[in-house]
Amino acid sequence: MINRQNKSNCEIFNLGSGNGVTVLEAIKAFEKVSGKTLNYTVGPRRSGDVVAIYANNDFAKSVLNWEIKYDLDDMMQTAWDWELKIKKEEDLIKAQNHVLN
């Protein structure tokens, strides 16, 4: 899939934005793009979770010409539009079942 000289035949690429986003920052971005206020509480850390991590993506950028097309707000917007679409379809199915019954 990629061909370069002197490369190993097993290569590793980080695919990440290169920016660390905290959970709270993600929530704030969502609230901004959706206009919704989220009902959340802060609880203890969850077993298995990593405390903090984000990617250096220089290798994917230079070798694969990988690039970031969407920022956090874009991603929250499409995620929200997707949830709305699913809800709309579920409501439609419920309404159809209601008519059939």
Partner 1 sequence: MKKILVTGGCGYIGAHTVVDLLENGYDVISIDDNSRSSNYLLDGIEQITGKKIKNYKVDLKNFDETLAVFQENEDISGIIHFAAYKAVGESVNEPLSYYENNLFSVINILKCVKEFAIPHFVFSSSCTVYGNPDVIPVTESSPVKKAESPYGATKQMGEVIVEDYAKASFCNAILLRYFNPVGAHPTILIGELPLDKPQNLVPVITQCAIGKISQMTIHGHD
Q: Are 80 and 35 in contact (CB under 8 A)?
A: no
Q: Residue 76's CB: how many other CB atoms inside 10 A? A: 20
Q: Report the half-sphere exposure of 14 (CA within 13 A, side-chain side).
A: 11
Least CB distance to partner 1 at residue 97 (A): 18
Least CB distance to partner 1 at residue 42 (A): 5
99 binds partner 1 (CB under 8 A): no
User: Using the rule CB under 8 A, which residue among 5, 6, 32, 45 binds partner 1?
Assistant: 45
Joined tokens for residue 17: 């934005």
Joined tokens for residue 7: 């490369």
User: Using the rule CB under 8 A, which residue among 32, 58, 92, 94 binds partner 1?
Assistant: 58
State how far Cα 63 lies from the chain centre: 23
Q: Which residues bind partner 1 (CB under 8 A)?
A: 1-2, 9-18, 20, 22-24, 26-27, 30, 34, 36, 38-56, 58-59, 70, 74-87
